[in-house]
């Protein structure tokens, strides 16, 4: 029997993949569908991400949605009580506290939609993403197309020589590669 006053349970959805795989595009699509359904949303991204806009989440295809840039995931807990959907872009740049924050939001009945790189340029799990995928009700892995052979790409190969973990950039610094082409590229980089 349907109870009119029953509170909808929250959930956590993760969209992950390599650079240029459409993670942000999918996040924006889900958030705009929620808006169309007249659900109140709040969108966040780390302050470090200023590639396209300071105050918007922007996809490589130039689709956008307004957001609040934040330094700490704890800021998300200050959303208004009527927010039904929280969107988070570039989640890999946050610290591990984002996992607990997402759990708390979902426990409040909020639908939390997270987009982020699952691996870094070295092919290793990136920041809090493995933990977020573990607690999520739904995980969607999206793929780019390998720029060298046309297969599905799941690696973000860095073209620059920087060894820093976080280097923001676009096609001038990263290329999406399949496993085989990524391994060849790493061997070439080390020669």
Of all residues in the chain, what percent are helix, strand and coil, respectively (each to 5)? 30, 25, 45
Residues 72/121/16/108 CA torsion (nearest 10 deg): -20
Strand partners for 11:
111
For residues 176 and 21, give the distance between their C-alpha atoms in angstroms, rounded to a whole number. Answer: 8
Please say if 90 is a catalytic residue.
yes
Which string of b and e fits 66-75 if b means at least 16 CB within 10 Å?
ebebbeebee
For residues 180 and 191, give the distance between their C-alpha atoms in angstroms, rounded to a whole number. Answer: 17
CA distance readout (Å), 35 to 11, 83, 87, 94, 115: 17, 11, 12, 25, 18
- Catalytic residue, chosen from 80, 90, 137, 175, is 90
Q: Which two tokens stand for residue 157?
A: 């190969």
Give the residue numbers annotated as catalytic, written as ranges. 90
């Amino acid at each position: 029997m349907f109870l009119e006053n029953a509170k909808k349970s929250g959930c956590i959805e993760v969209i992950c993949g390599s650079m240029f795989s459409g993670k942000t595009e999918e996040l924006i699509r889900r958030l705009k569908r929620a808006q169309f359904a007249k659900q109140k949303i709040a969108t966040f991204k780390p302050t470090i991400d200023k590639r396209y806009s300071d105050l918007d989440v922007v996809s490589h295809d130039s689709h956008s949605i307004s957001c609040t840039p934040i330094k700490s995931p704890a800021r998300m807990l200050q959303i208004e009580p009527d927010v039904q959907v929280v969107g988070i872009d570039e989640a890999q740049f946050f610290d591990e506290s984002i996992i607990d924050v997402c759990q708390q939001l979902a426990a409040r009945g909020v639908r939390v939609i997270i987009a982020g790189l699952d691996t870094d340029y070295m092919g290793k799990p990136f920041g809090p993403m493995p933990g977020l995928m573990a607690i999520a009700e739904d995980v969607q892995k999206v793929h780019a197309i390998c720029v060298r052979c046309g297969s599905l790409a799941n690696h973000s190969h860095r073209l620059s020589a920087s060894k820093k973990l976080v280097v923001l950039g676009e096609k001038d610094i990263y290329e999406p590669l399949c496993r085989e082409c990524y391994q060849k590229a790493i061997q070439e980089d080390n020669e």
